[in-house]
Amino acid sequence: MSTATMTKDEPVYDVDAYRADFPVFSKDIRGKQVVYLDSGASAQKPQAVLDRMMEVYAGEYANVHRGAYWLSERSTTLYEEARETVRAFINAEKTEEVVFTMGATDAINLVAMTFGRGLLKAGDEVIITELEHHSNIVPWQMLRDDKGIVLKFAPITDAGELDMPAFEALLTDKTRLVAMAHTSNVLGTVLPVEAVIEKAHAVGARVLLDGCQGIVHCPVDVQALDVDFYVFSSHKLYGPTGVGVLYAKYALLDAMPPFRGGGDMIASVTKEKSEWAEPPAKFEAGTPPIVQAVGLGAAINYVTAIGMDAIAAHERDLLLYATQRMASVPGLTIHGTATHKAAVISFTMESAHPHDMATILDRAGVCIRVGHHCAQPLMERLGVSATARASFGLYNTRADVDAFVKALEKVNEFFG
Protein backbone atom coordinates (compact mmCIF):
# COMPACT_ATOMS: atom_id res chain seq x y z
CA MET A 1 0.00 0.00 0.00
CA SER A 2 1.26 3.46 -0.92
CA THR A 3 0.58 6.46 1.27
CA ALA A 4 1.85 9.98 1.15
CA THR A 5 3.40 11.47 4.27
CA MET A 6 0.59 12.38 6.69
CA THR A 7 0.38 14.41 9.87
CA LYS A 8 -1.57 13.33 12.93
CA ASP A 9 -4.59 15.38 11.92
CA GLU A 10 -4.78 14.20 8.31
CA PRO A 11 -6.74 11.10 7.26
CA VAL A 12 -4.81 8.17 5.83
CA TYR A 13 -5.00 7.95 2.05
CA ASP A 14 -6.78 4.60 1.62
CA VAL A 15 -5.59 3.69 -1.85
CA ASP A 16 -6.87 0.11 -1.56
CA ALA A 17 -10.38 1.38 -0.91
CA TYR A 18 -10.17 3.74 -3.90
CA ARG A 19 -8.86 0.98 -6.17
CA ALA A 20 -11.89 -1.10 -5.21
CA ASP A 21 -14.10 1.65 -6.67
CA PHE A 22 -12.71 0.93 -10.16
CA PRO A 23 -14.06 -2.28 -11.74
CA VAL A 24 -11.06 -2.70 -14.05
CA PHE A 25 -8.81 -3.58 -11.13
CA SER A 26 -10.91 -6.63 -10.27
CA LYS A 27 -10.04 -8.18 -13.63
CA ASP A 28 -6.99 -10.03 -14.91
CA ILE A 29 -5.37 -9.23 -18.23
CA ARG A 30 -3.24 -11.95 -19.81
CA GLY A 31 -3.52 -13.76 -16.50
CA LYS A 32 -2.01 -10.81 -14.64
CA GLN A 33 -3.50 -8.19 -12.36
CA VAL A 34 -3.53 -5.04 -14.43
CA VAL A 35 -0.99 -2.34 -13.62
CA TYR A 36 -2.47 0.70 -15.33
CA LEU A 37 0.10 3.43 -15.89
CA ASP A 38 -1.57 5.29 -18.74
CA SER A 39 -3.88 7.66 -16.92
CA GLY A 40 -2.24 10.56 -18.74
CA ALA A 41 -3.87 9.30 -21.94
CA SER A 42 -7.19 8.39 -20.34
CA ALA A 43 -8.05 7.51 -16.75
CA GLN A 44 -10.11 4.55 -15.61
CA LYS A 45 -13.68 5.16 -14.40
CA PRO A 46 -15.02 4.58 -10.89
CA GLN A 47 -18.27 2.66 -10.44
CA ALA A 48 -19.98 5.80 -9.15
CA VAL A 49 -19.54 7.48 -12.54
CA LEU A 50 -20.71 4.42 -14.46
CA ASP A 51 -23.74 4.00 -12.21
CA ARG A 52 -24.78 7.65 -12.42
CA MET A 53 -24.63 7.65 -16.21
CA MET A 54 -26.65 4.45 -16.44
CA GLU A 55 -29.27 5.88 -14.06
CA VAL A 56 -29.72 8.88 -16.32
CA TYR A 57 -29.95 6.81 -19.48
CA ALA A 58 -32.38 4.38 -17.83
CA GLY A 59 -34.83 6.76 -16.19
CA GLU A 60 -33.94 10.47 -16.40
CA TYR A 61 -33.03 11.01 -20.04
CA ALA A 62 -34.46 13.28 -22.69
CA ASN A 63 -33.12 16.12 -24.80
CA VAL A 64 -32.40 19.29 -22.86
CA HIS A 65 -33.76 22.85 -23.04
CA ARG A 66 -36.52 21.87 -25.45
CA GLY A 67 -39.23 19.79 -23.84
CA ALA A 68 -42.22 20.89 -21.76
CA TYR A 69 -42.43 17.55 -19.99
CA TRP A 70 -40.89 16.02 -16.86
CA LEU A 71 -38.12 13.95 -18.48
CA SER A 72 -36.82 16.90 -20.46
CA GLU A 73 -37.03 19.19 -17.48
CA ARG A 74 -35.21 16.62 -15.34
CA SER A 75 -32.49 16.08 -17.94
CA THR A 76 -32.05 19.84 -18.31
CA THR A 77 -31.73 20.21 -14.54
CA LEU A 78 -29.07 17.49 -14.40
CA TYR A 79 -27.14 19.00 -17.30
CA GLU A 80 -27.10 22.47 -15.76
CA GLU A 81 -26.27 21.03 -12.32
CA ALA A 82 -23.21 19.45 -13.95
CA ARG A 83 -22.23 22.90 -15.23
CA GLU A 84 -22.50 24.29 -11.70
CA THR A 85 -20.40 21.38 -10.41
CA VAL A 86 -17.66 22.33 -12.88
CA ARG A 87 -17.97 26.00 -11.94
CA ALA A 88 -17.49 25.25 -8.26
CA PHE A 89 -14.62 22.82 -8.96
CA ILE A 90 -12.56 25.43 -10.80
CA ASN A 91 -14.01 28.40 -8.87
CA ALA A 92 -15.30 30.26 -11.90
CA GLU A 93 -17.20 33.42 -11.06
CA LYS A 94 -20.41 32.31 -12.77
CA THR A 95 -21.86 29.22 -14.45
CA GLU A 96 -22.20 31.15 -17.72
CA GLU A 97 -18.40 31.02 -17.99
CA VAL A 98 -18.47 27.21 -18.34
CA VAL A 99 -18.96 25.89 -21.88
CA PHE A 100 -19.35 22.17 -22.47
CA THR A 101 -17.39 20.94 -25.50
CA MET A 102 -16.52 17.58 -27.00
CA GLY A 103 -13.15 17.68 -25.22
CA ALA A 104 -10.09 19.84 -24.68
CA THR A 105 -9.10 19.64 -28.36
CA ASP A 106 -12.55 20.92 -29.31
CA ALA A 107 -12.27 23.68 -26.71
CA ILE A 108 -8.92 24.93 -28.03
CA ASN A 109 -10.26 24.88 -31.58
CA LEU A 110 -13.28 26.82 -30.38
CA VAL A 111 -11.02 29.56 -29.03
CA ALA A 112 -8.89 29.56 -32.17
CA MET A 113 -11.92 29.81 -34.44
CA THR A 114 -13.76 32.43 -32.41
CA PHE A 115 -11.32 34.57 -30.43
CA GLY A 116 -8.66 33.91 -33.08
CA ARG A 117 -10.61 34.33 -36.31
CA GLY A 118 -13.03 36.87 -34.91
CA LEU A 119 -10.81 39.15 -32.84
CA LEU A 120 -7.23 38.76 -34.13
CA LYS A 121 -5.74 40.26 -37.28
CA ALA A 122 -2.68 39.76 -39.45
CA GLY A 123 0.50 40.59 -37.55
CA ASP A 124 -0.94 39.83 -34.12
CA GLU A 125 1.25 37.43 -32.17
CA VAL A 126 0.42 34.13 -30.45
CA ILE A 127 3.04 32.50 -28.21
CA ILE A 128 3.07 28.79 -27.43
CA THR A 129 5.89 26.53 -26.17
CA GLU A 130 8.04 23.70 -27.46
CA LEU A 131 6.38 21.17 -25.17
CA GLU A 132 2.78 21.57 -26.33
CA HIS A 133 0.42 18.79 -27.33
CA HIS A 134 -0.51 18.94 -31.01
CA SER A 135 -3.96 20.14 -29.94
CA ASN A 136 -2.34 23.36 -28.78
CA ILE A 137 -0.13 23.72 -31.87
CA VAL A 138 -2.13 22.81 -34.96
CA PRO A 139 -5.10 25.20 -34.43
CA TRP A 140 -2.70 28.13 -34.13
CA GLN A 141 -0.78 27.04 -37.23
CA MET A 142 -4.09 26.91 -39.09
CA LEU A 143 -4.91 30.39 -37.82
CA ARG A 144 -1.47 31.63 -38.88
CA ASP A 145 -1.94 30.25 -42.39
CA ASP A 146 -5.49 31.63 -42.63
CA LYS A 147 -5.17 35.06 -41.02
CA GLY A 148 -1.48 35.85 -41.05
CA ILE A 149 -0.90 35.91 -37.32
CA VAL A 150 2.66 35.44 -36.09
CA LEU A 151 3.21 32.20 -34.17
CA LYS A 152 6.14 32.06 -31.76
CA PHE A 153 7.52 29.09 -29.81
CA ALA A 154 8.94 29.71 -26.34
CA PRO A 155 11.87 27.33 -25.72
CA ILE A 156 12.35 24.91 -22.85
CA THR A 157 15.51 24.08 -20.94
CA ASP A 158 17.31 20.74 -20.94
CA ALA A 159 15.45 19.91 -17.71
CA GLY A 160 12.14 20.38 -19.51
CA GLU A 161 11.24 23.66 -17.84
CA LEU A 162 10.01 26.81 -19.55
CA ASP A 163 12.91 29.13 -20.34
CA MET A 164 11.34 32.10 -18.59
CA PRO A 165 13.82 34.80 -19.75
CA ALA A 166 13.42 33.61 -23.34
CA PHE A 167 9.64 33.61 -22.97
CA GLU A 168 9.65 37.16 -21.62
CA ALA A 169 11.83 38.26 -24.56
CA LEU A 170 9.13 37.03 -26.96
CA LEU A 171 6.45 39.24 -25.44
CA THR A 172 5.76 42.45 -27.36
CA ASP A 173 2.99 44.99 -27.69
CA LYS A 174 1.68 42.84 -30.55
CA THR A 175 1.26 39.73 -28.39
CA ARG A 176 -2.44 38.97 -28.19
CA LEU A 177 -2.47 35.44 -26.77
CA VAL A 178 -0.21 33.09 -24.82
CA ALA A 179 -1.39 29.47 -25.07
CA MET A 180 0.45 26.79 -23.12
CA ALA A 181 0.06 23.64 -21.10
CA HIS A 182 -0.54 23.93 -17.38
CA THR A 183 1.32 20.64 -17.06
CA SER A 184 3.21 18.80 -19.82
CA ASN A 185 1.58 15.56 -20.92
CA VAL A 186 5.02 14.16 -21.80
CA LEU A 187 7.46 15.44 -19.18
CA GLY A 188 5.11 16.13 -16.29
CA THR A 189 6.56 19.64 -16.00
CA VAL A 190 4.28 22.02 -14.11
CA LEU A 191 4.76 25.32 -15.88
CA PRO A 192 5.04 28.61 -13.91
CA VAL A 193 1.61 29.67 -15.06
CA GLU A 194 1.10 32.34 -12.40
CA ALA A 195 4.20 34.21 -13.58
CA VAL A 196 3.30 33.64 -17.24
CA ILE A 197 -0.17 35.10 -16.76
CA GLU A 198 1.21 38.13 -14.94
CA LYS A 199 3.82 38.81 -17.65
CA ALA A 200 1.31 38.27 -20.48
CA HIS A 201 -1.31 40.52 -18.94
CA ALA A 202 1.30 43.24 -18.49
CA VAL A 203 1.55 43.58 -22.29
CA GLY A 204 -2.22 43.25 -22.80
CA ALA A 205 -2.22 39.62 -23.92
CA ARG A 206 -4.76 36.97 -23.00
CA VAL A 207 -3.73 33.55 -21.67
CA LEU A 208 -5.11 30.11 -22.50
CA LEU A 209 -4.04 27.14 -20.38
CA ASP A 210 -4.36 23.56 -21.59
CA GLY A 211 -5.35 22.02 -18.29
CA CYS A 212 -5.78 18.38 -19.36
CA GLN A 213 -2.98 17.26 -17.04
CA GLY A 214 -3.08 20.16 -14.61
CA ILE A 215 -6.71 19.71 -13.55
CA VAL A 216 -6.06 16.06 -12.66
CA HIS A 217 -3.01 16.48 -10.47
CA CYS A 218 -3.72 19.62 -8.43
CA PRO A 219 -6.52 21.98 -7.35
CA VAL A 220 -7.29 24.70 -9.92
CA ASP A 221 -8.76 28.12 -9.10
CA VAL A 222 -9.29 30.09 -12.30
CA GLN A 223 -10.09 33.31 -10.46
CA ALA A 224 -6.93 33.13 -8.35
CA LEU A 225 -4.91 32.41 -11.49
CA ASP A 226 -6.70 35.23 -13.34
CA VAL A 227 -6.47 33.05 -16.45
CA ASP A 228 -8.56 34.08 -19.45
CA PHE A 229 -9.20 30.61 -20.92
CA TYR A 230 -8.80 27.19 -19.26
CA VAL A 231 -9.62 23.93 -21.06
CA PHE A 232 -9.71 20.32 -19.95
CA SER A 233 -11.19 16.93 -20.85
CA SER A 234 -13.45 14.76 -18.75
CA HIS A 235 -11.86 11.42 -19.61
CA LYS A 236 -8.54 12.23 -17.96
CA LEU A 237 -10.43 13.30 -14.81
CA TYR A 238 -11.98 9.84 -14.27
CA GLY A 239 -15.07 10.84 -16.24
CA PRO A 240 -16.45 9.71 -19.63
CA THR A 241 -15.15 10.51 -23.07
CA GLY A 242 -17.00 12.84 -25.39
CA VAL A 243 -17.18 15.88 -23.14
CA GLY A 244 -14.79 18.60 -22.05
CA VAL A 245 -14.81 22.12 -20.68
CA LEU A 246 -13.90 25.56 -21.91
CA TYR A 247 -13.75 28.10 -19.11
CA ALA A 248 -13.49 31.69 -20.30
CA LYS A 249 -14.07 35.05 -18.68
CA TYR A 250 -17.60 36.10 -19.51
CA ALA A 251 -16.60 39.33 -21.26
CA LEU A 252 -14.54 37.29 -23.71
CA LEU A 253 -17.33 34.81 -24.39
CA ASP A 254 -19.71 37.70 -24.93
CA ALA A 255 -17.38 39.32 -27.48
CA MET A 256 -16.50 36.13 -29.36
CA PRO A 257 -18.58 35.00 -32.37
CA PRO A 258 -20.13 31.53 -32.29
CA PHE A 259 -18.16 28.48 -33.41
CA ARG A 260 -20.96 26.32 -34.86
CA GLY A 261 -24.43 27.15 -36.05
CA GLY A 262 -27.57 25.19 -35.23
CA GLY A 263 -30.19 24.62 -32.62
CA ASP A 264 -29.97 26.01 -29.11
CA MET A 265 -27.28 28.59 -29.90
CA ILE A 266 -29.68 31.16 -31.32
CA ALA A 267 -32.01 33.78 -29.91
CA SER A 268 -33.96 34.04 -33.17
CA VAL A 269 -33.72 32.97 -36.81
CA THR A 270 -35.35 34.57 -39.84
CA LYS A 271 -34.71 34.12 -43.55
CA GLU A 272 -32.58 37.22 -43.46
CA LYS A 273 -30.48 36.75 -40.33
CA SER A 274 -29.91 34.99 -37.03
CA GLU A 275 -29.28 36.43 -33.60
CA TRP A 276 -27.18 34.55 -31.07
CA ALA A 277 -28.11 33.31 -27.63
CA GLU A 278 -26.13 34.50 -24.63
CA PRO A 279 -23.10 32.49 -23.46
CA PRO A 280 -22.68 29.62 -22.85
CA ALA A 281 -25.56 28.56 -25.13
CA LYS A 282 -24.00 30.53 -28.01
CA PHE A 283 -21.21 27.92 -28.12
CA GLU A 284 -23.28 24.75 -27.56
CA ALA A 285 -25.02 24.20 -30.89
CA GLY A 286 -27.13 21.08 -31.30
CA THR A 287 -27.77 18.31 -28.82
CA PRO A 288 -24.99 18.51 -26.23
CA PRO A 289 -23.24 15.60 -24.47
CA ILE A 290 -25.97 15.41 -21.84
CA VAL A 291 -25.22 12.17 -20.01
CA GLN A 292 -21.47 12.64 -20.47
CA ALA A 293 -21.71 16.02 -18.72
CA VAL A 294 -23.57 14.37 -15.85
CA GLY A 295 -20.82 11.73 -15.75
CA LEU A 296 -18.19 14.46 -15.57
CA GLY A 297 -20.08 15.98 -12.66
CA ALA A 298 -20.09 12.60 -10.92
CA ALA A 299 -16.34 12.24 -11.50
CA ILE A 300 -15.72 15.69 -10.03
CA ASN A 301 -17.82 14.77 -7.00
CA TYR A 302 -15.76 11.59 -6.65
CA VAL A 303 -12.34 13.26 -6.66
CA THR A 304 -13.63 16.13 -4.53
CA ALA A 305 -14.75 13.65 -1.86
CA ILE A 306 -11.22 12.22 -1.74
CA GLY A 307 -9.67 15.69 -1.87
CA MET A 308 -7.50 17.07 -4.65
CA ASP A 309 -4.74 17.95 -2.19
CA ALA A 310 -4.77 14.37 -0.87
CA ILE A 311 -4.61 12.98 -4.40
CA ALA A 312 -1.73 15.33 -5.23
CA ALA A 313 0.21 14.25 -2.14
CA HIS A 314 -0.32 10.57 -2.97
CA GLU A 315 0.86 11.08 -6.53
CA ARG A 316 3.93 13.04 -5.39
CA ASP A 317 4.88 10.05 -3.27
CA LEU A 318 4.48 7.74 -6.28
CA LEU A 319 6.50 10.08 -8.49
CA LEU A 320 9.37 10.19 -6.03
CA TYR A 321 9.30 6.43 -5.43
CA ALA A 322 9.11 5.60 -9.15
CA THR A 323 11.93 8.02 -10.00
CA GLN A 324 14.15 6.42 -7.35
CA ARG A 325 13.33 2.86 -8.43
CA MET A 326 13.85 3.59 -12.13
CA ALA A 327 17.31 4.98 -11.39
CA SER A 328 18.40 1.41 -10.64
CA VAL A 329 17.55 0.18 -14.14
CA PRO A 330 20.71 0.12 -16.32
CA GLY A 331 20.55 2.16 -19.51
CA LEU A 332 17.32 3.98 -18.61
CA THR A 333 17.11 7.73 -19.14
CA ILE A 334 14.30 9.86 -17.75
CA HIS A 335 13.40 12.82 -19.93
CA GLY A 336 12.20 15.83 -17.97
CA THR A 337 13.72 16.58 -14.59
CA ALA A 338 11.87 19.78 -13.73
CA THR A 339 11.78 20.86 -10.11
CA HIS A 340 7.98 21.01 -10.23
CA LYS A 341 6.55 17.86 -11.80
CA ALA A 342 3.29 15.95 -11.85
CA ALA A 343 3.22 12.16 -11.70
CA VAL A 344 4.21 11.65 -15.34
CA ILE A 345 7.54 10.08 -16.34
CA SER A 346 8.84 9.79 -19.89
CA PHE A 347 11.91 7.66 -20.52
CA THR A 348 13.98 5.72 -23.02
CA MET A 349 16.17 2.64 -22.66
CA GLU A 350 19.40 1.83 -24.48
CA SER A 351 18.44 -1.80 -24.95
CA ALA A 352 15.07 -1.40 -26.67
CA HIS A 353 12.85 0.87 -28.72
CA PRO A 354 9.83 2.18 -26.77
CA HIS A 355 7.42 0.04 -28.81
CA ASP A 356 9.42 -3.08 -28.00
CA MET A 357 9.42 -2.08 -24.34
CA ALA A 358 5.64 -1.77 -24.40
CA THR A 359 5.29 -5.28 -25.78
CA ILE A 360 7.34 -6.81 -22.96
CA LEU A 361 5.52 -4.75 -20.34
CA ASP A 362 2.15 -5.73 -21.77
CA ARG A 363 3.01 -9.40 -21.25
CA ALA A 364 3.57 -8.53 -17.59
CA GLY A 365 0.19 -6.79 -17.36
CA VAL A 366 1.76 -3.32 -17.27
CA CYS A 367 0.06 -0.65 -19.40
CA ILE A 368 2.20 2.28 -20.54
CA ARG A 369 2.07 4.70 -23.47
CA VAL A 370 4.77 4.84 -26.15
CA GLY A 371 5.35 7.06 -29.18
CA HIS A 372 5.60 10.80 -29.67
CA HIS A 373 2.58 11.48 -27.41
CA CYS A 374 1.16 14.03 -29.88
CA ALA A 375 4.17 16.23 -29.16
CA GLN A 376 6.52 15.87 -32.12
CA PRO A 377 8.19 19.29 -31.70
CA LEU A 378 9.07 18.26 -28.15
CA MET A 379 10.52 14.97 -29.39
CA GLU A 380 12.69 16.97 -31.78
CA ARG A 381 13.83 19.18 -28.90
CA LEU A 382 14.70 16.10 -26.84
CA GLY A 383 16.56 14.52 -29.76
CA VAL A 384 14.48 11.34 -29.78
CA SER A 385 11.85 9.91 -32.10
CA ALA A 386 9.71 8.50 -29.30
CA THR A 387 9.63 7.85 -25.56
CA ALA A 388 7.83 5.52 -23.22
CA ARG A 389 5.61 7.17 -20.63
CA ALA A 390 4.28 6.03 -17.28
CA SER A 391 1.55 8.25 -15.85
CA PHE A 392 0.02 7.69 -12.44
CA GLY A 393 -3.46 8.17 -11.03
CA LEU A 394 -5.19 8.22 -7.68
CA TYR A 395 -5.53 4.42 -7.75
CA ASN A 396 -1.87 3.51 -8.30
CA THR A 397 0.35 2.04 -5.58
CA ARG A 398 4.00 1.43 -4.82
CA ALA A 399 3.30 -2.19 -5.69
CA ASP A 400 2.38 -0.99 -9.19
CA VAL A 401 5.73 0.79 -9.38
CA ASP A 402 7.55 -2.36 -8.26
CA ALA A 403 5.79 -4.44 -10.92
CA PHE A 404 6.62 -1.77 -13.51
CA VAL A 405 10.32 -1.71 -12.63
CA LYS A 406 10.48 -5.51 -12.58
CA ALA A 407 9.06 -5.52 -16.10
CA LEU A 408 11.66 -2.94 -17.19
CA GLU A 409 14.37 -5.26 -15.90
CA LYS A 410 12.85 -8.00 -18.06
CA VAL A 411 13.24 -5.67 -21.05
CA ASN A 412 16.97 -5.50 -20.41
CA GLU A 413 17.16 -9.25 -19.94
CA PHE A 414 15.33 -9.91 -23.19
CA PHE A 415 17.06 -7.32 -25.40
CA GLY A 416 20.31 -6.68 -23.56
Show me where the domains of the chain are located.
15-33+307-415, 50-304
According to the CATH classification, is domain 15-33+307-415 in 3.30.70.20? no
**pLDDT score of 66:** 81
pTM passes above 0.75: yes
Summarised one tens digit per residue, pLDDT across range 145-184 is 999 999 999 999 999 999 999 999 999 999 999 999 999 9
Q: Please give the full DSSP string across 121-176, using - where no structure is assigned.
A: -TT-EEEEETT--GGGTHHHHHHHHHH--EEEEE-B-TTS-B-HHHHHHH--TTEE
Summarised one tens digit per residue, pLDDT across range 266-292 is 999 999 999 999 999 999 999 999 999
**pLDDT score of 29:** 81
Q: Is 374 a catalytic residue?
A: yes
**pLDDT score of 10:** 60
**pLDDT score of 9:** 56
Summarised one tens digit per residue, pLDDT across range 206-246 is 999 999 999 999 999 999 999 999 999 999 999 999 999 99
Q: Residue 44 in contact with residue 22, Cβ under 8 Å?
A: yes
Summarised one tens digit per residue, pLDDT across range 28-75 is 888 888 999 999 999 999 999 999 999 999 999 999 998 899 999 999
Place 2 in a pLDDT band, splitting at 50, 70 and 90.
Answer: very low
Give the torsion sign (CA, 168, 170, 176, 179).
negative
Summarised one tens digit per residue, pLDDT across range 376-389 is 999 999 999 999 99
Place 194 in a pLDDT band, splitting at 50, 70 and 90.
Answer: very high
Provide the edge-to-edge strand list for the sheet that holds 98-101: 98-101, 244-248, 229-233, 206-210, 175-181, 125-129, 150-154
Average pLDDT of span 352-373 = 96
Summarised one tens digit per residue, pLDDT across range 68-122 is 999 999 999 999 999 999 999 999 999 999 999 999 999 999 999 999 999 999 9
Place 5 in a pLDDT band, splitting at 50, 70 and 90.
Answer: very low
Domain 50-304 fold is: Aspartate Aminotransferase; domain 2 (3.40.640)
Domains 15-33+307-415 and 50-304 share a fold: no
Tell me if residue 101 falls in helix, strand or coil: strand
Q: Please give the full DSSP string across 358-380, using - where no structure is assigned.
A: HHHHHHTTEE-EEE-TT-HHHHH
C-alpha closest to that of 410 among 344, 369, 366, 370: 366
- Please give the DSSP secondary-structure letter assigned to residue 385: S
Q: Residue 81 in contact with residue 291, Cβ under 8 Å?
A: no
On the question of pLDDT at 12 being above 90, the answer is no
